[in-house]
Structure 1
Amino acid sequence: MAEYDFDLFTIGAGSGGVRASRVAAAHGARVAVAEEYRVGGTCVIRGCVPKKMLVYGSMFAEELGHADNYGWTIEGKSFDWAALRNFVNADVDRLEGLYGKTLASHEVEVFAERATITGPHGVKLASGREVSAKYILVATGGWPAMPDFPGAEHCISSNEVFHLEEQPKCLMVVGGGYIAMEFAGIFNALGSEVTVVNRTDRILRSYDEQIVERMLHIAMGRGIDFKMHSQIQSVEKLDDGCLSVDLGGANPVKVDQVLIATGRKPNSAGLGLENAGIELGEGGEIPVDEYNRTSCESIYAVGDVTDRVQLTPVAIREGHAFADTVFGENPRTIDYTAIPSAVFSQPPLAGVGLTEAQAREQYGNIKVYSSDFRPMKNIFSPHAERGLYKMIVEATSEKVLGVHMIGPESPEILQVAAVAVKAGLTKQAFDDTVALHPSMAEELVLLK
């Protein structure tokens, strides 16, 4: 008989956990996964996938607003939030099914219940069953961080926003990160009155300041109200169902809904890690080494629960590297430099590599090339919004250190630029490339 019930027991069936389990099984391991909610994790179930679909739905509203300039006459147009919400959630169901089929096709046993760690090789399921595993992988992701103030129970997080019964006519979004900016843009485009509350005067801190300033200017032009240096003191639910929000001023703000989007924290509470001698970091993160191993030799962790880089593609790569290292006899680590990222605001912004401020701090002598232009598509729109592309290079070699942009389809364009940054190409390589005209992407090879 085998010494353990499984070679690998994964806690959490999100992007990282599913990839690790599938690859480990392909290497011949006997694998089980426990997931207390739904297979697919944050990204598929309550994050980037359904949110991007809401972005598409809201962008259609913008197109309808100036359809006449395209020659279209659309009579009796109206928006039904429930129809969009239900379509998005139905596709989430479809994707969850595909993830389940992927695990099943690799003969991974799935336990639809919570699991906790009882020791270096022990796991206890919520049903009471205890199993053993040679290795345990924690891939429980992150969870919305909710502030503590009177009336916080009346607010929602990004988990609940996908299931709202009605579209809020007046929405307050609390936070200055990408989740806050994306939902503010979605509901603003759909016609809601949106107010963003942020405790500082900076939003999207990890992105290039000039690009963020452009986004802020455009968002304000579209009607989003920003209240900087503000914090909620309390929230009171009124008899009519609306919320009265005290921001510390003379007059409270009345809204239909308050969305808290102040960040996410590692979802590590109550996992029993202490039973294996694993101590959490100050933010609740699980410390791991370059091979994703914790302080306990038989327990590993990947994804947002480690709080390294909170991005789905990173969790997937970490999960794959773990499986190859432990079960594939191919030790692999992850390179966390030049990871592209985007904010699906309206318009979206994206970046890879060093921002201008970071490059000046690290290199001192740099050059900045840019293109400030009005995308051809925006000519049809009443909004005179301009795109902005920036390239940061080391002054002497002109090696590209970072590329940052805002404008229609920026994330789609940035992905290819990220290859160039990762490869260490120079500005000359862009200059030597013939432009694809007419396109927005051609601005990358025409930067001055």
Structure 2
Amino acid sequence: MNQASDHTFDLIVLGTGSAGQSVATSCREKGWSVAIIDPRPFGGTCSQHGCDPKRVLAGAAEIIARSRSLKGRGIESENAINWSELMAFKKTFVEGIPESTEEKFEQAGIHYFYGTASFADKNSIRVGENTLTGGKILIATGAQPAKLSIQGEELLGNSEGFLDLEELPKTIAFIGGGYISFEFAHIAAEAGANVHIIHHNDKPLHNFDPDLVKALVAQMEHLGITFHFNATTEKILRSGEGYVLEGKKNGEPFRLECGLAVHGAGRVPNVDDLDLEKGGVAADKKGVTVDEYLRSVSNPDVYAAGDVSGSPGLPLTPIAGLEARAVTANLLEENSVRPNYTATPSIVFTYPMLASVGMTEEQARESGKEIKVNTVDMSGWYTYKRIGDSPSMAKIILDKSDGSILGAHVLNGEADHLINYFTIAMRHGLTAEQMSDTLFGYPTEGSDMKYLLEM
């Protein structure tokens, strides 16, 4: 712990993830005195227990899937995942992050504290035996798994635990049909596990296009993943070295044995230990209630950014960065910047990948705009046929009045690239005609854009 002789600071930051680090460092560079607090190893979830290590594992699963797609088309045999070697490789991306983050704070002159932070009053934070006073306070504590209120909930693993598994159980059950369950289920299945996903209704990945979700589910079922829709888990019990899940499926008793049960039923703002009431900080289920400048509506000296913020932004790392930049500007320049959330892409890193940006078809139809929906099966197109990429689908939503792109939804092995082209167009107001007129390298997924944007 870096002890401060003076416990009064211009800024106190709660959380050392991407948002907290960014604001703390930027304000310190402008001469502010800054303290930062975290009860966990410094560096945040994304870099150590989330997006980054997950993508390392997903990348290996993707290679296996791509290899299988070309079996009999020039590839003689499939590859296989060595779980222990893959986990060792993953560790090379995360080891040393807490130490390097602490060193960065040292060099910047940021006072850091390990411990659980809580408000003592509107401008004071208690951490361990220290009480710190801040002219301004930033809450950037991220998110945590939502409480499910089921018997035996403490037996559930979570995404962090999955990313640190030394051995892969033979059977794994994921509770919840969100992107965490889909991504980890695909990784586990490609590594040879028997995988189940349990979801409370028949609409998983509810923020994504339902037609493309249906195609993804079919592909994952073909891989061997079992989906239990309209199913709820009511009880988790130990059984030998594994677990038994009990509940209801379509109103009938449901029972499943597994070696590991993983919480994949969503995350919520991490505010439970903050004593927000003592700080006069209003919050609801979406997070800290903020105005358009990301300032607390009830305490003008408090800001929030990232997953803990109740802003309109999605709980994604790029949004944490966007909000951090806005908060920094608003602290230094007295509320001058409103974050621009236009065209936020979201990607499910399964294989095929599912990506989305902008309006869904349903939202576009409800908007009252006159729209054109291009639903395209690209499986037979050269770009995707050459790598056996099937299914390969896209749904593009256009505004007939001006040719603007309202939404884009892609399911294939190149979705992470394609969605970024659409994001650029939507964020900067490029029309379908302008994108179609753009010269992309050939043959690539970019050179196919004009066929997806036909008016």
TM-score exceeds 0.5: yes
Q: Which residue of 2 aligns with 1:259?
A: 262
- Structure 2 residue aligned with 1:437, among 438, 442, 449? 442
What is the DSSP-based 3-state SS (H/G/I as helix, E as strand, rest coil) of the residue aligned with 1:196?
Answer: strand
TM-superposition CA deviations, 1:111-152 (whole Å, max 9, x none)? 1222221112212111x0222211111111100113122222
The alignment status of 1:314 with 2:304, answered yes or no, reads: no
- Structure 2 residue aligned with 1:428, among 425, 428, 433? 433
Normalising by the residue count of structure 1, what TM-score does the alignment of the two structures yield?
0.92
What is the DSSP-based 3-state SS (H/G/I as helix, E as strand, rest coil) of the residue aligned with 1:443?
Answer: helix
For structure 2, the 5+ residue unaligned runs are none
Residue 193 of structure 2 aligns to which amino acid in structure 1? S
Instruction: Tell me the distance in 2 between the aligned counterparts of 1:184 and 1:262.
Output: 13
Instruction: Tell me the distance in 1 between the aligned counterparts of 2:363 and 2:172.
Output: 34
Residue 91 of structure 1 aligns to which amino acid in structure 2? F
Instruction: Tell me the distance in 2 between the aligned counterparts of 1:64 and 1:3.
Output: 59
The alignment status of 1:116 with 2:121, answered yes or no, reads: no
Q: Which residue of 1 aligns with 2:244?
A: 244
Deviation at 1:387, TM superposition (A): 0.8
* Contact 1:435–1:445, Cα closer than 8 Å, also in 2: no
Counting matched residue pairs gives 442
* Contact 2:67–2:75, Cα closer than 8 Å, also in 1: no
Q: Which residue of 2 aligns with 1:358?
A: 363
* Contact 1:66–1:380, Cα closer than 8 Å, also in 2: no
Deviation at 1:327, TM superposition (A): 1.9
Residue 304 of structure 1 aligns to which amino acid in structure 2? D
* Contact 1:24–1:324, Cα closer than 8 Å, also in 2: no
Normalising by the residue count of structure 2, what TM-score does the alignment of the two structures yield?
0.90
Q: Which residue of 1 aligns with 2:138?
A: 137
Residue 274 of structure 1 aligns to which amino acid in structure 2? E
Q: Which residue of 1 aligns with 2:290?
A: 288
Instruction: Tell me the distance in 2 between the aligned counterparts of 1:3 and 1:393.
Output: 58
Identity over aligned pairs, percent = 28
Deviation at 1:4, TM superposition (A): 6.8
Residue 446 of structure 1 aligns to which amino acid in structure 2? Y
Q: Which residue of 2 aligns with 1:168?
A: 169
Instruction: Tell me the distance in 1 between the aligned counterparts of 2:163 and 2:419.
Output: 28
* Contact 1:177–1:262, Cα closer than 8 Å, also in 2: yes
The alignment status of 1:406 with 2:408, answered yes or no, reads: no
The alignment status of 1:125 with 2:127, answered yes or no, reads: yes
- Structure 2 residue aligned with 1:323, among 317, 323, 328? 328
Instruction: Tell me the distance in 1 between the aligned counterparts of 2:67 and 2:369.
Output: 47
Instruction: Tell me the distance in 1 between the aligned counterparts of 2:451 and 2:404.
Output: 16
What is the DSSP-based 3-state SS (H/G/I as helix, E as strand, rest coil) of the residue aligned with 1:194?
Answer: strand
Deviation at 1:201, TM superposition (A): 0.6
* Contact 1:44–1:96, Cα closer than 8 Å, also in 2: no
Residue 408 of structure 2 aligns to which amino acid in structure 1? V
Residue 206 of structure 1 aligns to which amino acid in structure 2? N
Worse-matched range after superposition: 135-144 or 65-74: 65-74
The alignment status of 1:39 with 2:38, answered yes or no, reads: no
In the TM superposition, 1:142-153 aligns within 5 A as: 142-153=143-154
TM-superposition CA deviations, 1:386-415 (whole Å, max 9, x none)? 211222111222211111111112112211
Deviation at 1:271, TM superposition (A): 0.8
* Contact 1:44–1:92, Cα closer than 8 Å, also in 2: yes
Instruction: Tell me the distance in 2 between the aligned counterparts of 1:216 and 1:68.
Output: 22
After superposition, the Cα gap between the structure-2 partners of 1:445 and 1:334, relative to the gap in structure 1 and judged at 3 Å, is same
After superposition, the Cα gap between the structure-2 partners of 1:99 and 1:387, relative to the gap in structure 1 and judged at 3 Å, is farther
Deviation at 1:376, TM superposition (A): 5.2
Instruction: Tell me the distance in 2 between the aligned counterparts of 1:390 and 1:100.
Output: 45
* Contact 2:49–2:163, Cα closer than 8 Å, also in 1: yes
Instruction: Tell me the distance in 1 between the aligned counterparts of 2:75 and 2:408.
Output: 37
- Structure 2 residue aligned with 1:332, among 324, 328, 337? 337
What is the DSSP-based 3-state SS (H/G/I as helix, E as strand, rest coil) of the residue aligned with 2:424?
Answer: helix
Instruction: Tell me the distance in 2 between the aligned counterparts of 1:335 and 1:365.
Output: 25
Q: Which residue of 2 aligns with 1:388?
A: 393
Q: Which residue of 2 aligns with 1:89?
A: 91
For structure 1, the 5+ residue unaligned runs are none
TM-superposition CA deviations, 1:244-268 (whole Å, max 9, x none)? 2223345622111111110001110
Structure with a larger share of its residues in strand = 2
Instruction: Tell me the distance in 1 between the aligned counterparts of 2:117 and 2:440.
Output: 54
Deviation at 1:97, TM superposition (A): 4.2
* Contact 2:65–2:351, Cα closer than 8 Å, also in 1: no
